[in-house]
Structures are given as C-alpha cells and as structure tokens.
Amino acid sequence: MLKRSLPLLALTTLLALAALAALPAVAAPSRAEDPEIVFWTARVERDPADFLSPTRLGNLCLRKARETGDFSLYLQAEKAASLALERNPNHLPAKITLASAYRAQHKFKQAVPLAEEVVRAQPDSPDGYAELGDALLEMGEVKRAEAIYARLKSLAPGMTSLARLANLTHLKGDVPGAIRYLALAAESGKQAGVQPEAIAWCYTNMGEMNWSTGKWSEAERYYRRALQITPNGYLPLEHLAELRAAQGRHAEALKLYDRVISLNPAPEFYEAKAGVLAALGRKREAKELEDRARDGFLKEVGAGNIGLYRHLSRFFAEVQPNPAEALKWAQKDLEVRQDVHAYDTLAWALYLNERVPEAVAASRKALALGTRDAEMFYHAGMIHRAAGNRSEAAKWLAKALETNPRMEEAAQIRTLLKQLAPSRRKKRVAGRSAASRL
C-alpha cells in the first residue's frame, strides 16, 4: 500500500490554490500539448523585449503541471520565468512565478531569496508572503513560517491563507483544527469563484486527514465531494483507490488505479497498484509494477525531480527492502528539506540499518512539533524497542494505535504491546520492593 507523507499533499494543495485562483478559468488541459501553452510560447518568441508573455507562459506551465503531475512542466515554468527576468529583472510577478517553480521542484534555498525580494519590494503583496512561508516551512523553519503566515492572513484572509494555516495546524498536531481550516478555505474559494480544482484539493486533503486517523466513512465522503466537482481528478481517485484496497475491495481498487494511471502515470501509482496485486497473490504482476515504479522514480530523479528522494527511501524501506539504499535517499532528502517527515524518513532508514542511537535522535526531531501521525509514532515505538527503551516503545506504539486504530500495522502493534506490558510477577516484585523501602 502506498504510504504518503501528508504534508506533501497539503503543500501541493497550497501551490495549486495560488495558481488556480490567479488565472482565468479555461478548459482543463490534457497531458498532450496544451493550446494555450503553444500560443504563449509563440508570443514569447515573437518579441525579444516582451517580458509579460513569458511570465504568463510560466504560470500556465505551473497550472498544467499541478493538474497533470507532469514534472517537466515545472522546468518549463522555470525557463519561462527566468527569461522574463532576463528581459526585465525588476518584474515582480516573474519573480513570484520563478519562486513557485523552484519550490515545486523542491529548490527551496533558491525560492526563499526570490520571495524575500518580492516581500521587500511589495510589503503588502500576499503572493510573496505565500511563497516565502511555504518554502520556509519545508525547510523546517516553522516559527518563521508561522510569522509569515500571520502576515499573510492579515493581507489575504481568504482561501490562500486559510489553506496554509490548515497545513501548519496539521503539522502541529491539531487534525480537527486543520480540517476546520480547510472547510473554511473551500467555502472561501467558492465565494471567490476559484476554479473547481482548488476546492477539490481542499476536500481531498480533508479526506486524507480523516483516512489517516481511521475515519474511513468521513474520508470517502470528502473524496466523493472532490470527485463531484472534478470527476477526472487523479488525486481524489487515487485516494479512493487506496481506501478500496484497505477495505478489501481489490477489484474496485484496481479499476480505480488503472484510471488514475491513465490520467497520470506517476511511479507512485504503479507502486500502489502493485500493492493491491500482491494482496491478491498476483506476485509476478506485482513485481513487474514494483520494478516499473522503481525505475520510474530513478528516471525522474535523474531528470531533476529531487522531491522523489523521500519516495525512493520509503520504497527501499518497505517495497523492495534495501536498507543501504533507503538510508542513501533519506540522507539526500534531508539535504533538500528539514521538515518533520524528512527526519522520520531518516530515522526509519537508520533503524533498518541497525544504527539505533542515531535513529532515536532523528525520531525525536521528527516528533518535536507534536505532529499527529500514526506511522511516525509507530516508527518511534519500534526504534525505542530496538534501543531497549520498553516504556518509550510502549508509549509510542499505543499512541500510533490510538491515532489510527485501522492502520496497516495495527495487529502487529497489539501483539507488541502485550509483549511490552510488565508481567504480573514483575509488578508484584516491584510492589514488594517499594513496600520494603517504606
């Protein structure tokens, strides 16, 4: 089963919201050549002094990338925005577009100075604050991001700030609060007339948050709300497929994954479909798709998609176990972003490599914000168990089960908690020792 990092999804939502709200409504493009992109590409080439056309082209490439998942379009967006700035180095909209393209590629250290330039030049512009806060959050600078978001809320109290506050609230462990923010964001977006994709992103995130806490009925309700307004939205479809697989409705899950892959043949979706096939005992087919996913991840990373480092680490941790590879990619991911999930990924890879003291230290950093994540708690419990910290192991494993009673490892956790519980004899001995000291 595909294990996603929720804040990645939430942050991608924020990226989409900013772009989709800023552009006029057009028919959703396919993965084929988009006519608007063709038109504006021609405009760019017509006049070497025109800086507005490449800025517009960059924004269109960003939007299509978010709709289709085509990473190459982020590179095109970067190229177009860079060209606009060559033609006019002071054009602030092009700086925002370039910062957004960098951030989408996980080039956060390049995005931050550009966003800071925009904020200094236009202290009342919400776009600069949005870009800056998002990049800082991915880099683990939570307090700075929180201050930036507070300023953003005062400038743009609607969907743009509400969705980001949902992400921050979720990271700090308040899942119901995050869901409330997303509901407000969706309602604000409706009133502002943003494109349906932006509203659907909010609903998909709300469903994911319910899924991650074991509330499957609520999760499905939100996925279906997303699909009502974006019937071909590949992410709500993929989330529904994940739910069907967990429910044991494998035939439905496979059909949904086939549809998702037809819309966006990303490696992680082949990986997810492989998990369903494996559950059905179709091992050969599952292995073929696992290999295809692995090769796809490696190909995209080779093309510059460094955001997949984390996927690769988790792939080699869980799908095709290779502890050394898992650690290699986790360490690369931490170089790119220093959020809690980067530390959790690193902690698990260190654990798999039997580097337990280092895993304990990384896990503590992952837990520092109080993020309510069952998988993270499970990792912490297993790491402390390996370190011989029985009480800490029991605490975090119990917390994982409490957070999501339906998580994949639930049965294993229940068994481990029984093993970690002090025996009655030990309790009686401890009681007699305490009494003898009185």
Q: Is the dihedral of CA 399, 405, 408, 410 positive or negative?
A: positive
CA distance 100 to 22: 13
Average the pLDDT over 364-389 and give the result. 98
Mean pLDDT score of the chain: 91
Domain ranges of the chain: 31-156
Q: What pLDDT, on the 0 to 100 scale, is given for residue 226?
A: 98
Residue 33, pLDDT above cutoff 80: no
| Main-chain phi, psi angles of 17, to 5 degrees | -60, -45
pLDDT tens track for 49-98? 999 999 999 999 998 998 888 899 999 999 999 999 999 999 999 999 99
pLDDT tens track for 383-427? 999 999 999 999 999 999 999 999 999 999 999 999 999 865 555
Residue 6, pLDDT above cutoff 60: no
23, 59 Cβ separation under 8 angstroms: yes
93, 131 Cβ separation under 8 angstroms: no
Where residue 10 falls among pLDDT bands split at 50, 70, 90?
very low
Q: How many CB atoms are located within 10 Å of the residue 157 CB? A: 13
Average the pLDDT over 373-386 and give the result. 98
Residue 283, pLDDT above cutoff 80: yes
Which CATH code is given to the segment(s) 31-156? 1.25.40.10
Q: Which residues contact 223 (CB under 8 A, 6 or more apart)?
A: 203, 204, 207, 236, 239, 240, 243
Q: Choose among 211, 156, 193, 152: nearest CA to 6.
A: 211
Q: What pLDDT, on the 0 to 100 scale, is given for residue 193?
A: 94
173, 163 Cβ separation under 8 angstroms: no
Where residue 140 falls among pLDDT bands split at 50, 70, 90?
very high
Average the pLDDT over 141-153 and give the result. 96
CA distance 207 to 223: 6
Q: What pLDDT, on the 0 to 100 scale, is given for residue 422?
A: 82
* Percent of the chain with pLDDT strictly greater than 70: 89
Q: How many CB atoms are located within 10 Å of the residue 282 CB? A: 16
14, 165 Cβ separation under 8 angstroms: no
Q: What pLDDT, on the 0 to 100 scale, is given for residue 28?
A: 39
CA distance 153 to 49: 36
Instruction: Give CA angle at 245 (240, 251), nearest 5°.
Output: 95
Radius of gyration of the chain (CA): 23
Q: What is the pTM for the complete model shown?
A: 0.89
Residue 433 CA neighbour count, 13 Å, CB half: 6
C-alpha distance from residue 218 to each of 11, 183, 221, 289, 302 (Å): 22, 13, 5, 30, 39
Residue 35, pLDDT above cutoff 60: yes
